Structure 1
Amino acid sequence: MDRPTLPPRRPAVASPSRPAPKRRTSSARRVDAREWLGGNRVSGFVVIMLGLVVLGTFVLVPTVGTYMDQRQQIQALQSAVAVSQSEVDDLQAQRDRWSDPAYITTQARERLYYTMPGEVVYLIENDLPASATPQEQGDVSDEVGQTQTDWMAQLVRSVTAAGAAQTAVVPTIGVPDPAPTEQPAP
């Protein structure tokens, strides 16, 4: 089949009667969206790779969250172990002190007031100077010195009176009293 041939193009020559056409600059050029989208071709490889990246993100985000939670738990447990280890060290030092006979003797003398045979112990109860000792307080009243009642009998009377008392009816505020009922005349 024959293809039709087109006449050759003539170069645009500016004629004296017609000015030359102005070229558009790149900033003034309009971009057609269809033309731009039609020019971009996405291969199947790019689509598969993007899908794998999205899938990997969905798989790894919960895993990273779990990892961070576990790291926090490990840090908390390590600090608890450090505290427990310091307590164990303190208890071992205390055990070592109690294995020393001089320490045991000192503790028995200070805490339990034990003495060695033949020793004389002096216990000083008031070691404060006379100016620092608390003074005895005087009576609050001259009239009351000692009560003449039996407090045990008074307590028993109070308990039995409280148990035998009838409960009083307390009127409630805002609730009207019921109307009195009429009693038949005798």
Structure 2
Amino acid sequence: MARAAATPARSAPRVERVRPGVPRMFSIRALVFGLVLIMAFVLVYPTLNSYIRQQADLAELHAQVVAARARNEDLKADVARWDDRAYVVAQARERLSFVLPGETPYRVVDPETVPDTPVAKAEGPTSVLDAESTQPWYASVLDSVAVAGSLPVDADTTTTAPTPKPTDG
């Protein structure tokens, strides 16, 4: 009978012993899966990054090609305009102020944009580099050379070497 007492009856509930221990946060499968994901990222990232950069460069180059073609078409249109004699005559009149033989040229000057002639001062020559000057730049340079040669030299403004002072001794 000792044997029957050692084994519980079949209808009685089974009691299992629970071992108190540290619960596992990650199983082996989760660790291996995480490791595989990290390796895949390390292997794929550089290729994916260069692919995205190259696609951006390609889009930029396509935009440059479109802009260059538009500029090329504009330049071709400009060249084609110069084949027209009327356009050449109009440009010569506008840019170079050319007139045809027998025409009388008139230049209309807007009084708001051209200042009145400045009143000359009675004291000596004035500067030829005035902002209100309406003469061309080369005439201003020539006048400044002429004025520079005719200005009197003041004794106070000349620079000379310092003279030594006599010493007592």
Name the TM-score class by shorter chain: 0.5 to 0.7
Equivalents in 2 of 1:99, 1:92: separation in Å?
Answer: 11
2:96 maps to: 112
1:53 maps to: 37
* Residue 124 of structure 1 pairs with residue 120 of structure 2: no
CA 1:133–1:146 in 2, change beyond 3 Å: closer, same or farther? closer
Equivalents in 1 of 2:114, 2:32: separation in Å?
Answer: 93
Alignment of 1:31-180 (within 5 A): 32-34=20-22, 37=24, 42=28, 51-116=35-100, 119-128=101-110, 134-140=115-121, 143-144=122-123, 146=125, 151=150, 154=153, 162=159, 164-165=160-161
Equivalents in 1 of 2:47, 2:80: separation in Å?
Answer: 48
Equivalents in 2 of 1:110, 1:132: separation in Å?
Answer: 19
Equivalents in 2 of 1:76, 1:92: separation in Å?
Answer: 24
Indicate conservation of the 8 Å contact 2:99/2:105, yes or no. Answer: no
Deviating more after overlay: 84-93 vs 71-80: 71-80
Contiguous gaps of at least 5 residues in structure 2: 127-147, 163-168
1:175 maps to: none
Deviation at 1:59, TM superposition (A): 0.7
CA 1:124–1:47 in 2, change beyond 3 Å: closer, same or farther? same
Indicate conservation of the 8 Å contact 2:92/2:98, yes or no. Answer: yes
CA 1:63–1:135 in 2, change beyond 3 Å: closer, same or farther? same
Deviation at 1:92, TM superposition (A): 0.6
Equivalents in 1 of 2:118, 2:46: separation in Å?
Answer: 75
RMSD in angstroms over aligned alpha carbons?
4.3
Say how many residue pairs are matched.
132
CA 1:85–1:137 in 2, change beyond 3 Å: closer, same or farther? same
Q: Deviations over 1:73-125 (max 9, x none)?
A: 22222222222222111101101111122212222233334444xx4222222
1:169 maps to: none
TM-score (norm 1): 0.49
CA 1:104–1:41 in 2, change beyond 3 Å: closer, same or farther? closer
Give the share of equivalent positions with the same residue, in percent: 20
2:133 maps to: none
Deviation at 1:68, TM superposition (A): 1.9
